[in-house]
Chain A
Amino acid sequence: MHPALSVILFTVASGIGYGMLMLLALFLPLAAGPADRLFGAVSLGLALACIGGGLLSSTAHLGRPERAWRAFTQWRSSWLSREGVLAVLSLVAIALLTLAWPILAAPVECIEMTAAIAGLLSAATVAATAMIYRSLKPIARWHNRWTVPCYLTIALASGGLWLDWAGAATGVDFLPRAVAPILVLLAAVVKALYWRHTDGLKSATTIGTATGLGALGQVRPLDPPHTAANYIMKEMGFRIARKHAAKLRRIAGGLGVLAPLLLVIAGGMVPALDRSAVLLAAPVATIGVLVERWLFFAEAQHVAMLYYKADAV
């Protein structure tokens, strides 16, 4: 599938923001005393910027962005519509949390309750994003049980690293030090299992079932219907990254997993470096996640390409 930059930026950036909210909801009740307002302003500001920027970027993918509001109407059947509704609901909850925590410094219970609602809605939004892909039968690399866990664990890991970043920037220890590295490792394991599962997929759909001619013998494309690449070939048949998939997977693992883990360990061993290491870990890991998301699209193959290339899937 063609890796559209607007969709890659949206899923990665909104994953960061929603991941931060999920962790704030979980760990705010564990914090001793009222939570730091400056940390709240920086972390919520960052989360809002990531989610808002991501949503804006996603509208760049649309042919008619001025009609985007219509996408809130079909939540009964469409995961894309559900994602839109949940994204707006969680934005409202995050705005209320921003009001309650850094702006008004409301009572702790009020902050924690708002954070819990925002965290739940955030988790639901990330799951809905993943379900858009999970529900597409023609794309076997997406239509499997590992897609949703990948999106959720990567959002949590990115959120953990960026919450630590906000903590380092404001001099507040919010998350216990082990949380972000454990979430990064968890995401790495889940993504590795995703790759293991999807690399071994054997599709029941072949050019034989696509044309119905399989019973007559091997089917080979002879003449294409048109001389230049059409929409289907450009959208479903993007192959550039696939040639370099193994190398890009190593780059994604190196930047998204190894680099942040090494930085956190180095920071733990040399206290003078700790702050800069944490400040560096989140952006480096995010570059890794961007590569991972690029691969998520570029490695995915659509059965419609079978009509053009018998071995496409």
Chain B
Amino acid sequence: MTTLPTPGAVRLGLVIDLDICVGCHACAVNCKEWNTGGNAGPLSDYQPYEAQPDGVWFNRVHSYEVGDGPAGQTVHFPRSCLHCDNAECVTVCPTGASLKRAEDGIVLINEDVCIGCKLCSWACPYGAREFDEDVGVMRKCTLCVDRIYDEARPEAERVPACVSTCPASARHFGDLGDPASDVSRMVADREGMALMPELGYRPTNRYLPPRAKGSGCSAHAKSPALEPVMPEGTGFLGWLDRLLSA
């Protein structure tokens, strides 16, 4: 059914720390690698070895410049499905292929039912759904549903591929429906942001804003010049310099 379930107590999602993300794209690459070989795979590539390679990815890392002058900074911004509570990508689906799970809030596509009408991708303001031209169905982030419940894995590994691979620990996975969970506390401490809140999709994932920086370049300008560690001249002129400086 494409009518949305009553939101359950468990709302699994990601918290992405924009203060820490270094924009290395490892999350996007490991996402592609895991999912192209996992239950959702293969994720099609078009002309992968040509000048204009394209293909289906669940996660894309943008880089932005924010602010001007000394207050300006570079912010790396991974973008994937936010597993919204009010997921209109689900309600517009004419076939029932799009669904939101009541038990954990994950938004999924049943690829055996999808007719590839693309309407769900139009309904998603975050650009999180990508059409697979080779298979003729829509694709999206599964929150690695085939990893996070895999009891054959050690418990520490039962996290989405993007979270497990992030070398900077900028990505966190957990239950945002539980106010006592690590991710919820992180969101509360750092004033985690929902994207495009004005559209009313009520996304589950949160982004932690960059921390306030120091006073910027002006701090360096005021620091005292360093003492030279080498004598400034050698030979006769150096001897003269040292003699006159004394």
Contacts and interface: CB of A to CB of B under 8 A. Distances in A.
A and B part of one assembly? yes
A218 B66 contact: yes
In which size bucket is the chain B interface? Answer: 35 or more
Contacts of B121: 231-232, 235
A137 B130 contact: no
Contact of B197 (A209, A213, A221): A209
B95 A235 contact: no
Contact of A139 (B25, B52, B92, B122): B122
A64 B66 contact: no
A71 B117 contact: yes
Interface in B161-197: 193-197
A306 to B, nearest CB: 9
Interface string A219-245: 111111111111110011000000000
A138 B115 contact: no
Contact of B64 (A65, A215, A219, A236): A219
A136 interface: yes
B199 interface: yes
Contacts, number: 214
B125 A224 contact: no
Nearest to A237: B127
Interface residues of A, number: 60
Contacts of A84: 94
A217 B66 contact: yes
Nearest to B54: A228
Contacts of A221: 62-65
Interface in B54-68: 54-57, 60-68
Interface of B: 1-4, 18, 23, 25, 28, 51-57, 60-68, 71-75, 77, 79, 88, 90-97, 113-119, 121-127, 130-133, 135-138, 193-201, 207, 209-210
**8 closest A-B pairs (Cβ-Cβ)?**
A63-B116, A63-B136, A217-B67, A304-B127, A212-B193, A225-B60, A81-B94, A223-B63
